[in-house]
């Protein structure tokens, strides 16, 4: 009889994926433990496999509490909560789920952009409150033909850029390294991109290097007629500076899917009509979540059959 690898699951996963993991592995639910630290001290040595999510990640302490750990498979593309350096030093393979969610995340970026700029949700509330009977809804701003600046020209940024061409938008971008295979102009600085853009869409990776990349200076450069869209990571934006810019009218509006301290959303944003707030759902479609689950499993199967994960976060 084949002995199943002992797998530690540190976060809730879609039910279908949990069922498939349980069929192939000897799964223990760390998230269900009343005292996870005590459990790890007593049982952590027995697990060679860890499955987590981008929002929960794998800290240095967790990785070190699993001395037999050989592979991590993460459900998501965010890497800011995965201690990749510790994993690399320990020789632990790390898989994640890129590419399969690009299209849906890009769709959400445009849904947010269209909503906040054309004031769709605000107009919906206007109708529901019965205010249409008292007069017309205020004018909104045109989307087509406006300048879109993309922060991060990676997998998702490229799909957003492709979408924008259908709206006849000039595209420019900023990233730490040039994307040599795209036709869009790379700006010399993030401030310069914000000054140029009507819409600034954040699609960069998270992590310590990107923390508060969008700060008060960038928001001031975006200006009173500019809109900010974030489908990346909440930590990329200085949330205090963003709230101040929105409340004071220093930028026109924002569409946000992610926040610094999820699920906590700054109270000051809840009453603003020039902000559209989503609960971190950019990749939340049935099709994408199934594809992500498939890749979580494929990463593990590839590691145990060939010695490497299919989609490595360490490359």
Instruction: Note the pLDDT tens digit of each residue in 216-271.
Output: 999 999 999 999 999 999 999 999 999 999 999 999 999 999 999 999 999 999 99
Residue with tokens 């990571």: 233
Is pLDDT above 60 for 133?
A: yes
Q: How much is the CA Rg of the chain, to the nearest whole Å?
A: 21
Residue spans of the domains in the chain: they are: 6-100+287-306, 102-277
Is pLDDT above 80 for 37?
A: yes
Q: How high is the mean pLDDT of the chain?
A: 96
The pLDDT, as a whole number, for residue 103 is: 97
Q: Is 28 marked active-site? A: no
**pTM for this one?**
0.92
What CATH architecture does domain 6-100+287-306 belong to? Answer: 3-Layer(aba) Sandwich (3.40)
Quickly list H helices, 70-226.
84-90, 102-118, 120-128, 155-165, 190-196, 216-222
Q: Tell me which of 5, 211, 212, 280 is the catalytic residue.
A: 280
Q: Tell me which of 158, 233, 239, 260 is the catalytic residue.
A: 233
pLDDT digits (tens, 9 = 90+) for 153-199: 999 999 999 999 999 999 999 999 999 899 999 999 999 999 999 99
Is pLDDT above 60 for 29?
A: yes
Q: Tell me which of 85, 131, 185, 262 is the catalytic residue.
A: 262
pLDDT digits (tens, 9 = 90+) for 59-75: 999 999 999 999 999 99
The pLDDT, as a whole number, for residue 206 is: 84
Which CATH superfamily does the domain covering 102-277 fall into?
NAD(P)-binding Rossmann-like Domain (3.40.50.720)
Alpha-carbon gap, residue 226 to 72, rounded angstroms: 40
pLDDT digits (tens, 9 = 90+) for 134-156: 999 999 999 999 999 999 999 99
The pLDDT, as a whole number, for residue 1 is: 52
- Starting at the edge strand that comes first in sequence, how are the strands of the sheet with 227-230 ordered? 185-186, 171-174, 148-151, 199-202, 227-230, 253-256, 275-277
Q: Is 90 marked active-site? A: no
Q: DSSP 3-state assignment of 246?
A: helix
Instruction: Give the residue-averaged pLDDT of 200-211.
Output: 91
Residue with tokens 């799964």: 27
Q: Is 233 marked active-site? A: yes
Could you check whether 6-100+287-306 and 102-277 share the same CATH topology?
Answer: yes
């Amino acid at each position: 009889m084949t002995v199943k690898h002992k797998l530690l699951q540190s976060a809730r996963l879609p039910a279908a994926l949990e069922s498939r993991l349980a069929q192939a592995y000897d799964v223990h639910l760390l998230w269900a433990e009343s005292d996870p630290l005590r459990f790890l001290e007593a049982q952590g040595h027995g697990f060679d496999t860890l499955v987590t999510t981008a929002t929960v990640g794998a800290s240095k302490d967790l990785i070190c509490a699993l001395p037999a750990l050989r592979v991590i498979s993460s459900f998501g593309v965010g890497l800011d909560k995965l201690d990749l350096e510790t994993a690399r030093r320990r020789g632990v393979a790390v898989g994640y789920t890129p590419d399969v969610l690009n299209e849906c995340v890009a769709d959400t970026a445009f849904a947010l952009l269209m909503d906040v700029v054309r004031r769709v949700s605000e107009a919906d509330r206007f109708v529901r409150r019965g205010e249409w009977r008292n007069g017309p809804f205020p004018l909104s701003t045109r989307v087509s033909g406006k300048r879109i600046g993309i922060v991060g020209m990676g997998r998702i940024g490229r799909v957003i850029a492709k979408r924008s061409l259908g709206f006849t938008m000039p595209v420019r971008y900023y990233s730490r390294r040039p994307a040599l295979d795209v036709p869009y102009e790379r700006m010399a600085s993030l401030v310069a991109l914000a000054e140029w853009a009507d819409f600034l869409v954040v699609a960069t990776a998270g992590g310590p290097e990107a923390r508060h990349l969008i700060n008060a200076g960038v928001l001031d450069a975006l200006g009173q007629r500019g809109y900010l869209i974030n489908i990346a990571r909440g930590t990329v934006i200085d949330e205090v500076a963003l709230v101040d810019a929105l409340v004071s009218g220093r930028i026109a509006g924002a569409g946000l899917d992610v926040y610094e301290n999820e699920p906590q959303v700054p109270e000051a944003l809840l009453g603003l009509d020039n902000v559209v707030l989503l609960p971190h759902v950019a990749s939340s479609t049935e099709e994408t979540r199934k594809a992500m689950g498939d890749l979580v499993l494929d990463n593990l199967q590839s590691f145990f059959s060939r010695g490497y994960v299919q989609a490595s976060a360490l490359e």
